[in-house]
């Protein structure tokens, strides 16, 4: 049997109803904040993520699904040259020349997107979205990371994200945007009935703050790094900020004593951060400060945040995000400060399942239409009329005996069964039975939809 690949999974009904429920709420809430949907490709040039996410991040260094397209040409080229060199060294003649260099020309390295911000910002630059006044975009879609699969962590997972991006003249740098995005997220989680969320907030400052902070971290790590895990030893040299990502319990007491970014914020970053907090307090969004929150991605500046949920266990982050004022320029675009987030949809649905079952949001058939012998056509006609009235119809088959139709209707969870026999068609009035109460009435065709809806 061929099974779904490790770290990927099929989302089956009725669970997909929960996913649809979540996505409908997302679209509804985001619309109220005037966000519009963008759909970017699932694969992009590898360079986009190397530059936009950062070569040193775990995502880019270990977790991307990357391939050469078209495949194998580089190897073909190298192997042919090897043959030619060996032949030359051995004084042999080889027929045929080298593989033409042009064969390599069209080849590029491609990658399944591990996140969607880089793609959105690429599209922003490519289509000059600032000219169209498009500065609030959201997406819903799959992302791919080769992580070790476990509960709440998949290799194909889904993110719901949004980005506010634009020239500073459009106010995209303002702390009001940060607060608005955070308030929108609080509204979404409340709307979905996810009560016990916790918003953790930090400012990671600007690049110049981080130069000073990194320096201080390096100095603090120098005498202790030997005692830390292998990852931290490497981080201490290449990118000390990432030490805060460490989850190894033995390292925590050391990390606790390290300097914090909050001590290094310049005047501009500090007032920005205070303004974000003041607006959140004003609109009544609760949060806690966490100055260890540095986020895994290189392009983040100033506000960084995470929403966690107790019920999720080890993988307790439902969503993360922050400001990325330097990203557009890093990708060759104009200065375009921005802020965004990505919700892990898999985890959002998981935290929802704690209270709402998929069954409760699933729309079951209103009516099971049961044709008697030879009545498939008449039944189809009736089903068509009822579906036009926005009713959910499960259509049976005229090979079924009545008993089997009743069983099928019950199994489908239909509210009513509607019997379409020769007599009914002649009278243009149909037997409608409520499967819960057992009440049965004959209803004229013209009144059926209303009767069922009522
Ligand atoms: P990130 O893009 O790493 O900031 O992740 C944002 C959110 O996506 C996290 O808070 C998780 O909820 C979710 N997420 C990230 N990686 C995975 C994964 N491998 N499987 C499921 N959800 C994930």
Question: Is the CB of 317 inside a 6 Å radius of any atom of ligand 1?
Answer: yes
Per-residue model confidence (pLDDT) at position 296: 52
Q: How many CB atoms lie within 10 A of CB 372?
A: 21
Q: Which residue has the tokens 């009435």?
A: 441
Which ligand 1 atom sits closest to the C-alpha of 307? 10
Q: Among 119, 320, 321, 327, which residue has the most ligand 1 atoms within 8 Å of its CB, making it the best to mutate?
A: 320
| The pLDDT of residue 88 | 85
359-411 pLDDT, tens per residue? 778 889 999 999 999 999 999 999 999 999 999 999 999 999 999 999 999 99
Atom 23 in ligand 1: residue holding the nearest Cα: 344
| Dihedral sign, Cα of residue 157, residue 161, residue 167, residue 173 | negative
Q: Is 147 in the pocket of ligand 1 (CB under 6 A)?
A: yes
Q: Determine the length of the chain.
A: 454
The Cα 185–Cα 30 span in angstroms is 9
Measured distance CA(149)–CA(19) in Å, rounded: 21
Ligand 1 nearest atom to the CA of residue 149, by list position: 19
The per-residue pLDDT for range 95-106, each reduced to its tens digit, is 777 667 666 677
- pLDDT of 134 reads 93
pLDDT of residue 104: 67
* Pairing verdict, β 416-420 and 367-371: parallel
Residue 180 contacts residue 139 (beta carbons within 8 Å): no
Closest CA to 292 of 335, 330, 261, 338: 261
pLDDT at 58: 82
pTM of the predicted protein model: 0.88
For residue 283, the model assigns a pLDDT of 97
Enumerate residue ranges in the chain where pLDDT < 70: 73, 98-99, 101-104, 295-298, 311-312, 314, 354-356
Cα atoms in the Cβ-side hemisphere of radius 13 Å centred on 13:
5
Among protein residues, the one with the nearest Cα to ligand 1's atom 8 is 344
């Amino acid at each position: 049997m061929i099974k779904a690949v490790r770290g990927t999974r099929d989302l089956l009904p009725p669970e997909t109803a929960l996913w649809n429920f979540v996505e409908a709420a997302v679209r509804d809430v985001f619309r109220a904040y005037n966000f519009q949907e963008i759909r970017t490709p699932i694969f992009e040039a590898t360079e986009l993520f190397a530059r936009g996410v950062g070569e040193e991040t775990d995502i880019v260094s270990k977790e991307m699904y990357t391939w050469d397209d078209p495949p194998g040409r580089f190897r073909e080229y190298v192997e042919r040259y090897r043959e030619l060199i060996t032949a030359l060294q051995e004084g042999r003649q080889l027929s045929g020349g080298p593989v033409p260099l042009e064969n390599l020309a069209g080849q590029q390295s491609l990658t399944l997107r591990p996140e969607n911000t880089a793609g959105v910002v690429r599209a922003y630059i490519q289509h000059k979205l600032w000219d169209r006044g498009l500065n609030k975009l959201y997406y819903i879609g799959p992302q791919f990371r080769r992580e070790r699969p476990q509960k709440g962590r998949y290799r194909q997972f889904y993110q719901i994200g949004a980005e506010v991006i634009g020239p500073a003249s459009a106010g995209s740098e303002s702390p009001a945007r940060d607060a608005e995005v955070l308030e929108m997220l609080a509204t979404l989680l409340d709307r979905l009935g996810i009560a016990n969320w916790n918003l953790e907030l930090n400012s990671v400052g600007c690049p110049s703050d981080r130069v000073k902070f990194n320096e201080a971290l390096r100095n603090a790590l120098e005498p202790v790094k030997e005692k830390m895990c292998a990852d931290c030893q490497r981080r201490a040299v290449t990118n000390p900020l990432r030490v805060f990502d460490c989850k190894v319990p033995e390292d925590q007491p050391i990390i606790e004593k390290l300097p914090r970014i909050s001590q290094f914020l310049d005047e501009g970053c500090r007032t920005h951060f205070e303004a974000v907090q003041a607006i959140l307090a004003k609109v009544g969004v609760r949060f806690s400060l966490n100055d260890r929150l540095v986020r895994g991605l290189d392009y983040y500046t100033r506000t960084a945040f995470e929403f966690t949920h107790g019920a999720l266990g080890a993988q307790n982050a439902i969503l993360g995000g922050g400001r990325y004022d330097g990203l557009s320029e890093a990708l060759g675009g104009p200065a375009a400060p921005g802020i965004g987030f990505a919700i892990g949809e898999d985890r959002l649905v998981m935290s929802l399942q704690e209270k709402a079952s998929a069954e409760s949001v699933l729309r079951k058939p209103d009516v099971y239409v049961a044709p008697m012998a030879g009545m498939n056509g008449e039944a189809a006609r009736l089903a068509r009329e009822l579906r036009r009235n926005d009713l959910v119809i499960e259509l049976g088959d005229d090979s079924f005996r009545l008993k089997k139709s009743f069983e099928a209707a019950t199994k489908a969870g239909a509210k009513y069964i509607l019997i379409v026999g020769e007599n009914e068609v002649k009278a243009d009035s149909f037997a409608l039975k409520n499967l819960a109460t057992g009440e049965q009435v004959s209803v004229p065709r013209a009144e059926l939809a209303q009767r069922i809806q009522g």
